[in-house]
Each structure stands twice: as structure tokens, then as C-alpha cells.
Amino acid sequence: MNDGFYTALGTPLNEDGQLLSESFTNQINQQVEAGASGLLCMGSMGNMIGVREKDYVSIASMSVKANLKRVPLMIGVMDNGINRVMDRVKAISHLDFDGIVATTPFYYIVNQSQIISFYTSIANQSPKPLYLYDLPGVTQSPITIDSVLTLMKHDNIKGIKSGNMNLISALMRHPYKQSDFDLLFSGLDTFDIALKGGIKKNLDGMFCCTPVNTRKMYYGENPSLYLNNILGLRNIFIKHGVLASFSYAMELLQLPGRYHEDYSSSITNQAKEEIKAFMQRINEVSV
């Protein structure tokens, strides 16, 4: 994978939970045109765990169709057991994409031996390369450097996505890191510092709704300035509900859909005004 930004796509659904294909296709086109080095379909920002089983394959298929092999495409297969993950892998294995992404199981706390067993079993069975997704804030179970060093020896495990800069930095410096093992850093708050430190593959869902600032952050001259803009919008999202706010921001970008949980309501008109004003100020939306 090339250096640059990797976008964790949002999944625009209608009120019945069905994909809005035109909006999804336009989102993918917008990200590729903004300079994305790769895409993740149905990660945490893509609400994978909220997608209905009967719609999972069609969403994956549409991401492949819209991408047209322009950039590497990964698809989330997260679940709580090997067999459940493999059901997802088998369902999409006929599609032409570049890798699957899986967190550790997120219902039980699991130890490092169980994490190694979980990922090794998936990698042994998957026809697609596996990328580890370290998300302890959700799963309760972080992946340690020793576990990564063990797992990267597997021919079918090709990278890790993590917001732990200490982990990513240690892996970068480690003498036994495999040359074809990609490190995708997802700690949004320190992307500018990461870039200066040589961590140049960064992945996040906020890129979906900030294509202008994201492009300038990676291809301009002042990464910290444009990251501050992205973080400012993210902080407004946190105040009003992240995914519901994200839905409205995407609507402002002419990418409509319900991107938030089906049990969450839309944000207030006051919150919408705050988001719109901020997106206008950072030039994501015209005044």
C-alpha cells in the first residue's frame, strides 16, 4: 500500500436499512478524486455491526463496483467468533477486493493467546489477506506488539490498523517487522505528528466528510492547520452524537443517507446550524 490517507467509508442507508447506491458511489468517487490511497468499507464509521445480514453482501459488492480497482479496498468482517467471521468472508470471497479487516472479538475480554488463535484461524481459511484492527476502546482487548510480531509471520496477515502510536512506532522500528506488513495509524488527534515522525499511512472515517481539508493535510504545506479543522468538526460531532452528526454533514456534501444507528434520532436544528456553519468556515461547504 502507498503512503497517504485511507478513508473508512460511511454507509448511507434508507430508513429500511437498504443501501443508497448513488450516494455510496458518489462518496467513493469523491474520496478517490480527493487523493485517497485506499478505502475501508464497513469499518466502525461504516456501522458494519448495524448493517443487516441480508444487505451485507450487496454493500460490499457496490463498494467494489464503485471503486473499479482504482485504489486498494478493504472490507470489514468483524464479529465475535471465528465461524461468524468466516461466514462473512465466504459470502464476499467472490468479489474483487484487496483484504478483510477484523477486530478482536468484542463481547468477551480475550487474552493474547486467544487473539493469536482467533486471527490465525481466520487467516488460515480466508482467500483474502487479513488486516488486524486494534480497537480496544470498543473490544476491551488491545493487541500487544508481541502478538503482532507473532501474527505478522503468517503469510496471509498483511497489516494492522491501530490508533496506538506507541504500538505503530515500535513496530516501525522493530528489526523483525515484515517488509510487506502495512501499518495503518488511526489516531486522528496526532496525524500531523505521525506524519512528521514517518508514519505516513493514516486511516479514519472523518475523511469522508472533510475531503477538502484532508487533501490539503496530506498534499499541502501545513498539515496541522487542516487537521485542526477536521478535529474541530469531530469535536462538534462528539457534542451532539457522532454518527447522527456525521449523517447531517454527509447530507451537506450531497451524500444523503442514514449513517447512524437505527436506534438513534436525528440531531437538533441547532446542532445542524452549528455543523453547517463550521463546515462553511473550513470550506467543506459553500456559503
Q: What is the pLDDT of residues 62-114, one digit of tens each?
A: 999 999 999 999 999 999 999 999 999 999 999 999 999 999 999 889 999 99
Specify the 3-state DSSP secondary structure of 192. Answer: helix
Mean pLDDT rounded to a whole number for the chain: 95
Number of alpha helices (DSSP H) and beta strands (DSSP E) in the chain: 12, 8
What pLDDT was estimated at residue 252? 98
What pLDDT was estimated at residue 55? 94
Closest CA to 157 of 200, 201, 202, 115: 115
Strands 99-103 and 157-162: unpaired
CA atoms of 100 and 141, how far apart (whole Å): 19
pLDDT value at 26 more than 90: yes
What pLDDT was estimated at residue 221? 86
Q: What grid cell was written down for 244?
A: 447522527
Mean of pLDDT values over 235-249: 97
Q: pLDDT for 110-140, tens place per residue?
A: 999 999 999 999 999 999 999 999 999 999 9
What pLDDT was estimated at residue 238? 97
Closest CA to 40 of 104, 125, 97, 115: 97
The secondary structure element, H or E, covering residue 4 is: strand 4-8
What pLDDT was estimated at residue 41? 98
What pLDDT was estimated at residue 81? 95
Q: pLDDT for 28-41, tens place per residue?
A: 999 999 999 999 99
Domains, the chain, ordered by start: 4-220 (3.20.20.70)
For the chain, percent of residues with pLDDT exceeding 90: 90
Cβ neighbours of residue 191 under 8 Å, at least 6 residues apart? 185, 202, 204, 217, 223, 227
Q: pLDDT for 163-221, tens place per residue?
A: 999 999 999 999 877 788 999 999 999 999 999 999 999 999 999 999 999 999 999 88
pLDDT value at 152 more than 80: yes
Specify the 3-state DSSP secondary structure of 93. Answer: coil
What pLDDT was estimated at residue 178? 77
What pLDDT was estimated at residue 112? 97
What pLDDT was estimated at residue 177? 78
Contact indicator for 132, 143 with CB cutoff of 8 Å = yes
pLDDT value at 261 more than 80: yes
Mean of pLDDT values over 9-33: 96
Question: DSSP labels for 227-280?
Answer: HHHHHHHHHHHHHH-HHHHHHHHHHHTT--SB-S-TTSPPPPHHHHHHHHHHHH
